[in-house]
Amino acid sequence: MEEILRSRAPGVLQHRVFHEMGLVHAFSTREGGVSRSLYHSLNLSVSVGDDPEAVKENRRRFFSALGVDPSRVVRVRQVHGDGVLVVGEELVRRKGFPPILLDEGTGYDALTTNQPRLALTITTADCLPILLFDPRKRAIGAVHAGWRSTVKRIAERAVKAMATTYGTAPSDLLAILGPGIGGCCYEVDEAVIQPLSQALSSWQAYVVEKEDGRFLLDLAGVNQMVFQEAGVLPEHLFLTRLCTACRPDLFYSYRAEKPKTGRMLNLIMLPS
């Protein structure tokens, strides 16, 4: 855990590399909020049946711990696809504050911006959150990588969107692969393995077959490989290796707690 910094403010995990670069960022935990029972305690989603007033207070605590203006927090409707939304001031202004949910009609699983003080967020409870930073072009990204988006190479799509939009060289890009369900717990069946094997050449390195014919999938490992194939340097990829299903004390896990549990928010923002 030495690369993972637990902020004095509850609910905030940070990575040493991004912290030292002065980036505002966090992978939220379930600690330090006011939600009760199944949602205990820092649930940051209003879409899962929790008391909206509790979520409001949780969001207030989380954003204020990070020094983030809530009216500058953006998110997208996540659809397990491969869409990347480029977030410019124009889009945010057109939508009018507080927008938060951008371009709702379409749905995306990654966002990127080079605008300071604009917080990009991804909501998760098992799916892999990935935060990106190009220190040379001063651009950031946030990615939601469940198995479907992983198979669609969302990691590579995000790298390419940043290259096209900001001139990001993949070799400059840094990525933190945050807390998600780990290869220890992520059981999948043939319905996942089949498309995975078709989409990725070296998928076998990240899959372990169990005796019952099911499989354990290392989602972070697969995304690490996709990033490398997209030109990101191995030494620029940081895996937190925190498993959401193994740590119910720290995280919400849809798999471990379904059908009802809270959601974490994963956030990155360029300071001014």
- Site residues for Zn ion per CB under 5 A: 182, 184-185, 243, 245-246
**Shortest distance in whole angstroms from residue 203 CB to Zn ion:** 20
Nearer CB in complex with Zn ion: 139/243: 243
Cα 21 from Cα 14, distance rounded (Å): 12
Q: What is the DSSP string of 104-153?
A: TTT--SEEEE--BT-EEEEEESSSEEEEEEETTTTEEEEEEE-HHHHHTT
Selection from 269, 272, 244, 268 nearest residue 258 by Cα: 244
Decide: 270 and 49 in contact? Cβ < 8 Å: no
**Shortest distance in whole angstroms from residue 64 CB to Zn ion:** 31
Nearer CB in complex with Zn ion: 13/245: 245
**Shortest distance in whole angstroms from residue 184 CB to Zn ion:** 4
Peptide bond into 171 cis (omega under 30): no
Nearer CB in complex with Zn ion: 126/172: 126
Decide: 70 and 63 in contact? Cβ < 8 Å: yes
Nearer CB in complex with Zn ion: 216/230: 216
| Runs of H (alpha helix) within 139-236 | 147-151, 154-166, 190-199, 219-229
**Shortest distance in whole angstroms from residue 242 CB to Zn ion:** 9
**Shortest distance in whole angstroms from residue 245 CB to Zn ion:** 5
**Shortest distance in whole angstroms from residue 241 CB to Zn ion:** 10
Cα 237 from Cα 179, distance rounded (Å): 14
**Shortest distance in whole angstroms from residue 2 CB to Zn ion:** 20
Nearer CB in complex with Zn ion: 24/256: 256
Cα 231 from Cα 87, distance rounded (Å): 23
Nearer CB in complex with Zn ion: 170/182: 182
Nearer CB in complex with Zn ion: 199/246: 246
**Shortest distance in whole angstroms from residue 183 CB to Zn ion:** 8
User: Largest alpha-carbon pair distance within the chain?
Assistant: 54
Nearer CB in complex with Zn ion: 127/245: 245
User: CB count, 10 Å around CB of 17?
Assistant: 15
Selection from 173, 177, 154 nearest residue 85 by Cα: 154
